[in-house]
Amino acid sequence: MANINSNLLVIGSTNISNISSYEVQYNKLWKDADRNMNGDVRATLIGIFPKIVVKTTVQEQSLASTLGNLLNQPYFSVTFYDVLTNTVKTAQYYASDFTTKLKMRQGALIDEMSFSLVPVSKRA
C-alpha cells in the first residue's frame, strides 16, 4: 500500500487541512445522448470532469471563515490528489453551495464544513 506524500487539497495557495472525508467523482459529460429503437446508446463524450467532495473536521470559526471566503470566490485554482493516476493535478474550479455545522456556541467551534468543487473544464 502506497502513501500519499502530498497535500490532498490546496485552494489557491491555502492548504486545506483537517479533512475528514475526501472524494473525487469522475463525472462524464455527454452530448447528443439518445437511444435508437434497438435500445443502443448513441452519444458523444465531451469529457471527464473530476468533481471533488470534501468534509472538514472541527475547526475554529476563524479557520471556517477563511475557508468560506476561499469558496465564495467565483473561480479559483485547485491542486488536488487524483486517486486514479496517483498524481497531484491543478485546474480551475468553482464551489457549489456549501454548509457549515456549528458544534458549540461557546468558542464558536464549527463541527464540520461540507463542500463540492466543480471543475471549469474537462480534465486534461
In a domain? residue 58: yes
Q: What percent of the chain has pLDDT over 70?
A: 90
In a domain? residue 40: yes
In a 13 Å sphere around the CA of 68, the CA atoms on its Cβ side amount to 14
In a domain? residue 2: no
Confidence of residue 4 (pLDDT cuts 50, 70, 90): confident
Residue 101: C-alpha distances to residues 2, 6, 56, 69, 96 (Å): 33, 28, 10, 16, 17
Segment (H or E) for 69: helix 61-71
Q: Domain containing 35 — which CATH number? A: 2.40.30
In a domain? residue 28: yes
In a domain? residue 1: no
**Which tens digits make up the pLDDT trace of 79-112?**
999 989 889 999 999 999 998 877 666 666 677 8
Domain count, the chain: 1
Confidence of residue 3 (pLDDT cuts 50, 70, 90): low
In a domain? residue 124: no
Mean pLDDT of the chain: 88
The residue segments making up the domain with residue 50 are 9-119
In a domain? residue 77: yes
